[in-house]
Structure 1
Amino acid sequence: MFFTRCKQIAAVTQGMRAFLRALVVSFAVCVCITKPAYAWPGIVTHVSDGDTVWVQPLQGGEAHKVRLLGIDAPEICQPWGPQSRAALHAALQGQVVEVRARTRDSYGRLLAQLTHQGNDVGAWMVGQGYAWSYSYKSNAGPYEALQQQAQTQHLGLFSDGRALQPRWFRKRFGSCHTPGS
């Protein structure tokens, strides 16, 4: 009877260990899946256009091509494209930023929110009139209120009644092909 009871206790203990291992693994998987972004500091080494930069991680490694999440800046070959790129270049070239990467787009670029000195770079670009808040179908973009403010104040590209959102520009004229962007 004593040995039977010990075997039962051992079986329960073994079952509890297996359950706890499964619980720990499940928790780790949930944390990895639900974690929306990972953040790392880096230096902006190149600005391709008003919504794409190259960032060299401070801890070393190759520079990453990063597309600013939530904004759509004019193509470099369309009106306001050079001004948008120049504004982003002046603000970030050689500066330390924090990259909060979400995923990669179909071009292999990291889609990320950038902050510089605690300020959201995408919000600044839209608020200054250098980019549109990226909207999809009927969903307003994350910086819609800032865009409306910039439009009301006729800032940057919003001062030009002919300014064309990049998606419509690409649909009408195709994309700009710039080597090394």
Structure 2
Amino acid sequence: MRQGWWWMWLLLVPLAHAQGDPRVEPLQARVLRVVDGDSLWVRAADGPPLRLRLQGMDAPEICQSHGPQARDALERRLARRTVSVKLLRKDSYDRWLARVNDSEGDVAAWMVAQGHAWSARWQRQPGPYAPEEKAARQGRRGLFAQRQPEEPRAFRLRHGPCGLGPTPHPGP
């Protein structure tokens, strides 16, 4: 019986990549469009466009104070560049949660360090970019120049998400 199952591995390797298996190598992708401070569209080689959300950080909503500035900072950093993307898993909005690096390093770490986002907290944990957030707060950079910036999670609870419709496809 064991001898007849070897072909299953041929199916599991692509499936592991599709599910964001951490053992799969990062893919090289071209940035098509930045949606907001933590979401973007990319395309790898001849593949379909992929909608990503940067893992480990939370940027202001686009209709929230500093939301447009966060989007613009990410746009300036990544517009039409090739990036390395490590797909992790899908979120509730059907976006890939991903680690994204460009030639200068970890994009999410940079966004938090520049004061354009918070380190994503989970329960009582400070999140992966807590040192970058602390430095941005101390330096009063970006949104941390505000007296009491409202975290996106609290903003969404009070107002709901900004764009209630689906995010439009980025085009070719």
Q: What TM-score does the superposition give when structure 2 sets the normalisation length?
A: 0.83
1:149 aligns with 2:135: yes
Is 1:127 matched up with 2:113?
yes
Report the TM-score, using the length of structure 1 for normalisation. 0.79
Partner SS for 1:86: helix
Unaligned segments of structure 2, at least 5 residues:
none
Name which of 56, 80, 94 aligns with 2:66. Answer: 80
Instruction: Give the counterpart of 2:101 among 115, 121, 127.
Output: 115
CA distance in 2, matches of 1:102, 1:133: 17
The whole-number CA distance in structure 2 between the counterparts of 1:93 and 1:156 is: 20
RMSD between superposed Cα atoms in Å:
2.4
Is 1:68 paired with 2:54? yes
**Rg (Cα) greater in structure:** 1
Change (3 A) 1:37 1:82: farther
Matched, 1:93 2:79: yes
**2:172 is aligned with 1:172:** no
The one-letter code of the counterpart of 2:62 is I
Is 1:43 aligned to 2:30, yes or no? yes
**Identity value in percent:** 39
Point out where structure 1 has 5 or more consecutive residues left out of the alignment.
1-17
Give the Cα separation in 2 of the matches to 1:126 and 1:54.
20
Give the SS at the match of 1:147. helix
Shift of 1:162: 2.9
Q: Where does residue 42 of structure 2 map in the other structure?
A: 55
Structure with more of its chain in helix, by fraction: 1
